[in-house]
């Protein structure tokens, strides 16, 4: 793995130099755009509107558009200098229970690794978080963008979860959500029983990206010149309003048969 950020965690007066690594990666097939006529690859070029000619990368700058259609040119160095402390520091501002953070706010996880000479303070913060059951809330800058984040201990590793800011969460008030719909206690009791029948310990290894596997099989078959036959599509659930009690009872019977 390659570090994508270097800085330090500030924990009171304790300073912990760390390196940041992406904790996830996509495994989807990499498709290329091709010209159907001769199968040549389609490539995108950065072209100047004024000349219609391709512009070399060292001649491309970043500009912010003003209301009068004028641009202010900003360099990467100027962006870093705008807030140098936030570019290199993860200053823990408070600690909270992880359960208080809605799943709406979680964005992307990263691993934190101690830099040279930082093993002891790293382990100190990790073990303190494990014992307290809390996560540290902070803000830092990554790739010219400020992130809210939560630091937690995950086994032996400190994990930084990038969080969304409150302003990024859309208001659900625009949705048409039933507020006066009633369900009877027997229906709720059956639904709770069904949840109980389907309850188990979460094991992410049980779940596979079957769509990507099917796409790879399709690619392999076509590469060998085989004719691919699409599997029969599963029947879509009926849109008709069904009797809830009957549906719940049948669902419970089905789960019991599977368990047997």
**Mind listing the pLDDT tens digit for each residue in 134-181?**
999 999 888 878 899 999 999 999 999 999 999 999 999 889 988 888
Give the residue-averaged pLDDT of 7-17.
91
Give the residue-averaged pLDDT of 3-18.
92
Cα torsion through 66, 72, 75, 76, rounded to 10 = -10
Give the residue-averaged pLDDT of 174-196.
88
Per-residue pLDDT, 60: 94
Give the residue-averaged pLDDT of 118-138.
95
Give the residue-averaged pLDDT of 255-260.
68
Specify if 124 maps to a domain: yes
Give the residue-averaged pLDDT of 105-125.
95
Per-residue pLDDT, 135: 96
Per-residue pLDDT, 120: 95
Per-residue pLDDT, 200: 87
Specify if 235 maps to a domain: no
Percent share of the chain, pLDDT over 90? 49
46 pLDDT higher than 90: yes
For 82, the 3-state DSSP assignment is helix
257 pLDDT higher than 70: no
74 or 110: which carries more pLDDT confidence? 110
pLDDT grade for 126, boundaries at 50, 70 and 90: very high
Tens digit of each residue's pLDDT (9 = 90 or more) over 228-249: 777 666 666 555 656 777 888 8
Specify if 146 maps to a domain: yes
Specify if 218 maps to a domain: no
Give the residue-averaged pLDDT of 42-60.
92
Per-residue pLDDT, 237: 59
Per-residue pLDDT, 227: 79
pLDDT grade for 26, boundaries at 50, 70 and 90: confident
Strands 106-114, 71-74: parallel, antiparallel or unpaired by DSSP?
unpaired
Specify the number of domains making up the chain: 1
Specify if 222 maps to a domain: no
Per-residue pLDDT, 97: 95
Could you tell me the residue range of the domain that residue 125 belongs to? 5-30+60-168
Per-residue pLDDT, 235: 61
Specify if 18 maps to a domain: yes
Residue 123 maps to which CATH number?
2.40.290.10
Q: Could you tell me the pTM of the whole model?
A: 0.75
Q: Are 125 and 90 in contact (CB under 8 A)?
A: no
Sequence-ordered strand ranges (E) for the chain: 5-11, 14-22, 62-65, 71-74, 89-91, 94-97, 106-114, 134-142, 145-154, 157-163
Query: How many C-beta atoms surround the C-beta of residue 159 within 10 A?
Result: 19
């Amino acid at each position: 793995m390659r570090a994508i950020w270097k800085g330090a965690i500030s924990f009171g007066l304790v300073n912990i130099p760390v390196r940041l690594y992406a904790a996830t990666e996509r495994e989807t097939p990499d498709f290329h755009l091709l010209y159907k006529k001769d199968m040549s690859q389609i490539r995108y070029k950065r072209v100047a509107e004024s000349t219609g000619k391709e512009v070399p990368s060292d001649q491309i700058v970043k500009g912010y558009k003003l209301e009068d259609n004028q641009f202010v040119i900003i360099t990467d160095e100027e962006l870093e200098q705008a807030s140098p402390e936030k570019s290199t520091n993860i200053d823990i501002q408070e600690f909270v229970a992880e359960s208080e953070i809605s799943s709406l706010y979680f964005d992307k996880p990263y691993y934190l690794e101690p830099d040279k000479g930082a093993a002891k303070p790293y382990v100190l913060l990790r073990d303190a978080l494990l014992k307290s059951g809390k996560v540290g809330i902070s803000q830092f800058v990554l790739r010219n963008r400020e992130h809210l984040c939560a630091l937690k201990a995950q086994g032996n590793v400190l994990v930084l979860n990038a969080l969304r800011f409150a302003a990024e969460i859309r208001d659900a008030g625009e949705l048409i959500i039933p507020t006066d719909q009633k369900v009877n206690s027997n229906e709720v009791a059956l639904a709770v029983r069904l949840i109980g029948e389907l309850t188990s310990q979460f094991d992410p290894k049980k779940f596979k990206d079957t769509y990507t596997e099917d796409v790879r099989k399709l690619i392999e078959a076509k590469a060998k010149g085989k004719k691919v036959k699409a599997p029969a599509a599963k029947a879509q659930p009926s849109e008709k309003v069904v009797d809830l009690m009957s549906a719940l009872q049948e669902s419970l019977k089905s789960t019991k048969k599977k368990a047997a």
